[in-house]
A and B are shown apart, each in its own frame.
Chain A
Amino acid sequence: MMKNILVTGAAGFIGSHLSEMFVQKGYKVIGLDNLSYGTLQNLSSILGHSQFEFVQGDVRDFKLLLELSSRVDAVVHLAAYKIPRYGNALETLDVNVKGIENVLKVSQKVRCRVIFASTSDVYGKNPNLPYSESSDFCMGSPEIQRWSYAISKILGEHLCFIYSKEHDVRMTILRYFGSYGPRQNLTWWGGPQSIFIDCALKKKAMPIHGDGLQTRSFTYIQDTIEGTLRVLEREEAIGKVINIGNIEEMTILELGKKIWKYVRGSVAPLIEFVPYRQFPGRYEDVRRRIPDVHLAKEILGFTPKTSIDEGLIPTIKWQKSVTKGEGRDDR
């Protein structure tokens, strides 16, 4: 029975929820985060708990990672840079690849399991839906920074497979499809729903990129962490790539309208369409994105169930409370 877990990126959105759940389930958790994007506030419910230890540090710090991982049975590697849309392509490429590389190197030494958080973005603009774990990756031109996130994750996945084949590292790759929920990041980093809720709370126009008819599937955080937990509990998940996502598909525009309705009732939504050409540099969006979740069902006995309506309500409630806390509530 696994009892000790290291979570990298523990102070982030997914990391904090996962750490909380591990603690609740009786695991001992070491949470590593450099607090560049994560916050200690996210961990407030477990900071000081006897089963939780927080360490401020960088995943690129090999010695630190080696010391921490020598005390655990598994590393859940979530620490990553996400959105290069507004710059930071270099950080994204660097942090994401060196992070997983270090995790794999230490796990080769201490023989702990590795869970690598990858992303639905690796499927890129592949037009063949839904995406199964063996679908092709379809990237755009290197001049377009947005691909640096997906490319860094693909390279990370390759490193996982190579360490698995050449050094018997027991790894599992999870491709998360757009998680949302309380404690999500309040910028674009946290996804469009985060921005839309903020706008609706402040009665500002919701910025919709392109025509808003691009679709996504949104996975409630409880489902994301449930899937992750099951991976740790099942040996069959070793050596596998598994999609973790909700199959409910919706356009970005519908999402905006829905959020507005939950926040503002019947008042007509304020929407501002932002053409892609207004982004700095070139940008390329992905039109549709839906996971095939058969493998998750088969291996983990699990598929995300929380509907967008069920998930949005607690998310909006939370976001309202923190927005108030900042004294930025609308008058």
Chain B
Amino acid sequence: MKTILITGGAGFLGSHLSRALLEKGYRVIVLDDLSHGNIENISDYITSPKFALYRGDVLDKNFLIEISEGVDIIVHFATYKIPREGGFLKTIEVNTKGTETILEVAKERKISVILGSTDDVYGKNPELPFSEESALVIGNSNSIRWSDAISKIYSEQLCFAYQDAYQVPINILRFSIIYGPRQRKDWWGGPLGVFIERALKREPIPIHGDGLQVRNFVYVSDAVEGILRVIEKEEIHGEVFNIGSLDHLRILDLAFQIWSFAGNSGKPEIEFIAYPDLCQDYEDVRIRDMDLTKARYLLNYHPQIGIEEGLKRTIDWFRGCR
């Protein structure tokens, strides 16, 4: 059975993927610096003989070479994603140099790579829904809000460049907003975690902008299923896939749903946060939704968990943590 190395494997998505892979009999190696990942996420299988955790930095190439002996596929999730919290330089560095290091290791060890990317790369493209062929439209570089998107776009280009130059087989998965149990409860985990925390405490819910922006949300087990299908289809490489769901909703409606699923009556009090308070030059994307046709045809990917079921399960998990 194959061995999969997951960078950022102690994070939310990485830990769900590890468990799913172990259940299918794969060997799993996780690299995580535990800066945002959490050991608790992997506590139930950390002692499994088929599992190994290495604490380390994704920029440490020698270490990566060492731990990737016998590895068949690297799934690269380690990333910084919110520049307004993580520091802009750090975001670009971890994202671009991290990907470069992974590709260098893959080249030397002859390993294939799956890059975790984001639908943020489509930026403010007004033509919806986004297909993998859609243009990547980002705002000007003086708005540093785009530094995460450009670092991902750069990473994607780098993957194809390594595939062309050194025949490193690569695939790129562009995820929409992934949510579910074990997700982070702060903004790092997206709006959903913050909303649930507030709803359970019956506190006002903070919303960035006017709340009418639309996003696509995918339940974590569906996202994991998408990754598994790419891992299992060995003949597929050099492809970009959208991995999301059929659920797209306004942030405000998400807040209302969470409020009522959390057992509250009436409507929540909303605390609107204007963008200028958030970050200078912040530009939000109004609608973000993805076309899943390619994943459906090539991967037979069909998301199973709708937003209502997904939210209930996620809220239950949040309750259990309290």
Contacts of A125 in B (CB 8 A): 135
Contacts of A331 in B (CB 8 A): none
Contacts of A160 in B (CB 8 A): 141
Contacts of B162 in A (CB 8 A): 90
Stretch of A66-74, A137-145, A178-186, A226-234 at the chain-chain interface: A137-145
* Among candidates A142, A143, A152, A161, residue contacting B141 with C-beta atoms closer than 8 Å: A161
Main secondary structure of the interface of B (DSSP, over half): helix
Contacts of A89 in B (CB 8 A): 157, 160-161, 164-165
Q: Is B204 an interface residue (CB 8 A)?
A: no
- Given A137-B140, A155-B150, A158-B141; A166-B164 close (CB under 8 Å): no
**Which residues 55-86 of B sit at the A interface, judged by CB distance below 8 A?**
none
Are B154 and A141 in touch, CB under 8 angstroms?
no
* Among candidates A93, A138, A155, A173, residue contacting B151 with C-beta atoms closer than 8 Å: A155
Q: Is B36 an interface residue (CB 8 A)?
A: no
Q: Is B53 an interface residue (CB 8 A)?
A: no
* Among candidates B92, B123, B124, B157, residue contacting A148 with C-beta atoms closer than 8 Å: B157
Q: Is B120 an interface residue (CB 8 A)?
A: no
Nearest Cβ distance between residue B78 and chain A, in whole angstroms? 19
Once the chains are docked, how many angstroms separate the CA of A125 from the CA of B151?
Answer: 19
Q: Is A255 an interface residue (CB 8 A)?
A: no
- Given A93-B161, A136-B124, A142-B159; A241-B88 close (CB under 8 Å): no
Q: Is B314 an interface residue (CB 8 A)?
A: no
Contacts of B123 in A (CB 8 A): 136
Contacts of B25 in A (CB 8 A): none
Contacts of A173 in B (CB 8 A): 141
**Which residues 247-279 of B sit at the A interface, judged by CB distance below 8 A?**
none
Nearest Cβ distance between residue A175 and chain B, in whole angstroms? 10
Q: How extensive is the interface on chain B, given as a class?
A: 35 or more
Are A145 and B161 in touch, CB under 8 angstroms?
yes
Q: Is B298 an interface residue (CB 8 A)?
A: no
Once the chains are docked, how many angstroms separate the CA of A69 from the CA of B19?
Answer: 52
Once the chains are docked, how many angstroms separate the CA of A162 from the CA of B148?
Answer: 12
Q: Is A133 an interface residue (CB 8 A)?
A: yes
Once the chains are docked, how many angstroms separate the CA of A281 from the CA of B103?
Answer: 21
Are A158 and B92 in touch, CB under 8 angstroms?
yes
Are A140 and B164 in touch, CB under 8 angstroms?
no
Q: How extensive is the interface on chain A, given as a class?
A: 35 or more
Nearest Cβ distance between residue B236 and chain A, in whole angstroms? 14
Q: Is B299 an interface residue (CB 8 A)?
A: no
* Among candidates B89, B96, B238, residue contacting A143 with C-beta atoms closer than 8 Å: B238
Contacts of A155 in B (CB 8 A): 92, 96, 150-151, 154
The contact string, 1 if C-beta is below 8 Å from chain A, for chain B 219-252, is 0000000000000000000101000000000000
Q: Is A237 an interface residue (CB 8 A)?
A: no
Once the chains are docked, how many angstroms separate the CA of A162 from the CA of B87?
Answer: 9
Once the chains are docked, how many angstroms separate the CA of A125 from the CA of B157?
Answer: 17
**9 extra interface residue pairs, beta carbon distance < 8 Å, beyond A142-B157, A159-B89:** A90-B164, A137-B139, A137-B140, A137-B141, A142-B172, A143-B238, A158-B151, A162-B89, A173-B141
The 4 closest A-B pairs by CB, nearest first: A157-B141, A142-B156, A89-B161, A90-B161
Residues of B within 8 A of A (CB): 87-89, 92, 96, 123-125, 132-133, 135-142, 144, 146-147, 150-151, 153-154, 156-162, 164-165, 172, 238, 240
Q: List 19 A-B contacts (CB under 8 A).
A: A87-B164, A89-B157, A90-B161, A90-B162, A136-B139, A137-B138, A137-B139, A137-B141, A138-B125, A139-B138, A143-B238, A154-B153, A155-B92, A155-B96, A160-B141, A161-B141, A162-B88, A162-B147, A241-B141
